[in-house]
Amino acid sequence: MLDQGDVTVEDIKFRAEDGWELTGTVYRGAAPQVAILISAGTGFPRRFYRHVAAYLAQRGAVVLTYDFRGIGESGAENLAVSGIDYPDWGQVDMTAALDHLEHIAPGVPLTTVGHSIGGQFVGFMQNHHKVARHAFVAVGNGHWGVHKPRNVPLELFFWWGYGSYCLARHGFIPAGGLWGGEALPPEVFKTWRRWSGRRSYLLPDLASGRYPHHFDDPCKPICAWVISDDPIATETACGDTLGHYTQAETHMVVRTSKELGAKKVGHDGAFRKGRETLWDELWQWLRDGQLPEGGKTR
């Protein structure tokens, strides 16, 4: 265990209901008032969120970050034949992570922060009803048609050129090259590509019963932060995702990079060093349910 001021940091292991071992890190502040589960974007390892996790812990939280199966230290021996599908991250891993957070922070209100797919997949969690409030950051429909036009050519090449080549050569999407994240299991990529090829995104797969889900169940309030220079999670894309939560009170906040004290933030910059302005808004929402100035109820 490593002390960082008044925050303790501990790497842990815990198991999902199907036995898959997941790796996480617990950040514990003094006299915690709230427990926060941070769920990553596609291909992001848990260590990417260490700065915001430590900040929230210092404010008075128990924070759990973790690697989805197939990612980082929750990896598979042979990714190409791992059988990991995209919704597994929500249905099994996010569910297990929340249960473990409840176990290590008994009696403390449970909340979540979801980055990108980590917010989209709340509706797959079997136990989301335990959560008091959700914060979404850079969360939105993956369809290229609701992204900023300048990003579209690269996305289409990634889906149908680069990605297809990687699957044929490696059997999965390796880290490096055009893909800047951790290596991706093949079924994760294929499902992500299928959804991102249509404006309705994951809804047809939900309607067909292909994946059990809870998007239509009562859900606790969601506040979503959109960063104006994010080429992917635009206001339209975020609105689409919030619309998937049919029985939730939802709010949207739009912030510019200038408001966050940066020249550029983009899709992942909200979790990099120096974003305390945003992290303070997350804290006030998660702890007290206080909506940021300019937030819009949808």
Please write the tens of the pLDDT for every residue from 172-195: 999 998 999 999 999 999 999 999
- Give percent above pLDDT 70 in the chain: 97
Which position has the token pair 């093949």? 186
Please write the tens of the pLDDT for every residue from 198-250: 999 999 999 999 999 999 999 999 999 999 999 999 999 999 999 999 999 99
pLDDT at 2 over 70: no
Q: Give yes or no for a contact between 4 and 40, defined as CB atoms under 8 angstroms apart.
A: no
Could you list the residue range(s) of the whole structural domain that residue 59 is in? Answer: 2-297
Q: What is the CATH number of the domain that holds 261?
A: 3.40.50.1820
Averaged pLDDT, 273-298:
91
Please write the tens of the pLDDT for every residue from 132-172: 999 999 999 999 999 999 999 999 999 999 999 999 999 99
Please write the tens of the pLDDT for every residue from 73-112: 999 999 999 999 999 999 999 999 999 999 999 999 999 9
**Binning pLDDT at 50, 70 and 90, where does residue 6 land?**
confident
How much is the mean pLDDT over the chain? 95
**Binning pLDDT at 50, 70 and 90, where does residue 46 land?**
very high
**Binning pLDDT at 50, 70 and 90, where does residue 4 land?**
low
Query: Which pLDDT value is given to residue 293?
Result: 84
Averaged pLDDT, 270-294:
95
Count of structural domains, the chain? 1
pLDDT at 1 over 50: no
- Give percent above pLDDT 90 in the chain: 94
